[in-house]
Structure 1
Amino acid sequence: MNDTTALATMGFSRANHVGIVTSNLDASIRFYEALTGKKAAPQDKIGGKRMAGVLGLDKALIRYATIHLDNLNIDLLQYEAPEPSKAQYANNQIGAMHLCFEVDNIDDAVARLCKAGIRLQGDPITFMEEDGLKAGFGTAVAYFDDPDGTHLEIIAPQGPFKRTGN
């Protein structure tokens, strides 16, 4: 068994959740509920010495809420202790990440975002040969941010960008 097979059999072939640290949990819940159409549940607090230790912190007290999508959970986290600081990063910075939502139709999704007052980072594009791809033509993408500046994307995948199965 090679290393890749061993990791896959251990469960590294599926994702459970993405955690997003927020400055205002209630505002983030409203944003992500409106964006996804899903309700946040559960909502709770977690903390203490053991939690701080696993996070590599001296102390930890976190208010959180989870939004269950069909294939991934979004954990919204508001740290009460230690006091959080704001991270800022551009899409091209090493370590920067984004969360991408798969949509059926980019135009409908963009219209929904605009109607909700969400500003795109730029105009949506549909990949063509001139973009340097060897495959995936017809895939459309757009980027935007949540209220705290977390980078988000929507994609209407085609070709090799389209997932098969779960």
Structure 2
Amino acid sequence: MENTTKGFTRANHVGITVKNLEKSIAFYEALTGTKVSNIDVIGGERMAKTQGLNDTQIKFANLHLDNLNLDILEYVIPESEQASYSNNQISAMHLCFEVDNIDDAMQRLKEIGVEPDGEPIIFEEADGLKSGYGTAVAYFRDPDGTNLEIIAPQGPFKRKNP
């Protein structure tokens, strides 16, 4: 049988553009308990053209999680502009970290000085769902305002092969 997805069923990484690479490395290493695998710089016209730019220079670090890589990117050329998205805005995205226990994850956020956007909730029938009861979620932001989430999944929110 022919593979019609051409690989679009696998995610490799999420790229997060940041203001200060070193500060963001410290944040994501503290959050995940994982050290970056490398720090490097890429740039020039060839790379710029892949992004519709005339020229670019990007300082970056790669952080490997169990099932996804994070690319932490600081654009030197062209200089980055601050964007701000709330989760309800069209084209806004967020990165969700899967955790085993929402209370332990909330304690971890507190330990590294992160204030969540609100208190965590555990999904119940009153939330309008047909299934997934017992799933717990909370939202927070990184130092540059990137939308992040933690989830302790149940039911259809659980992946078959984590």
User: TM-score per shorter chain, which class?
Assistant: over 0.9
TM-score if structure 1 supplies the norm length?
0.95
Tell me, yes or no, if structure 1 residue 88 matches structure 2 residue 84. Answer: yes
**Of residues 10, 18, 22 in structure 2, which corresponds to 1:22?**
18
After TM superposition, the structure 1 = structure 2 runs for residues 27-106 of structure 1, keeping only pairs within 5 Å, are: 27-106=23-102
Moved over 2 A (4+): none
1:83-102 residue CA offsets vs partner (Å, 9 max, x unmatched):
11000111100000000000
Q: Distance in 1 between matches of 2:85 and 2:33?
A: 28
Q: Distance in 2 between matches of 1:146 and 1:72?
A: 18
| Structure 1 residue 42, shift from structure 2 partner | 1.2
Local SS of the residue matching 2:41: strand
Tell me, yes or no, if structure 1 residue 142 matches structure 2 residue 135. Answer: no
Where is the helix percentage greater, Structure 1 or Structure 2?
1
**Of residues 117, 128, 151 in structure 2, which corresponds to 1:155?**
151
Q: Distance in 2 between matches of 1:159 and 1:90?
A: 27
Local SS of the residue matching 1:64: strand
TM-score if structure 2 supplies the norm length?
0.97
Q: In the alignment, residue 86 of structure 2 is paired with which amino acid?
A: A
Q: In the alignment, residue 4 of structure 2 is paired with which amino acid?
A: A
* Structure 1 unaligned blocks of 5 or more: none
Q: In the alignment, residue 23 of structure 1 is paired with which amino acid?
A: K
Percent of paired sites with the same residue = 62
Matched residue count: 162
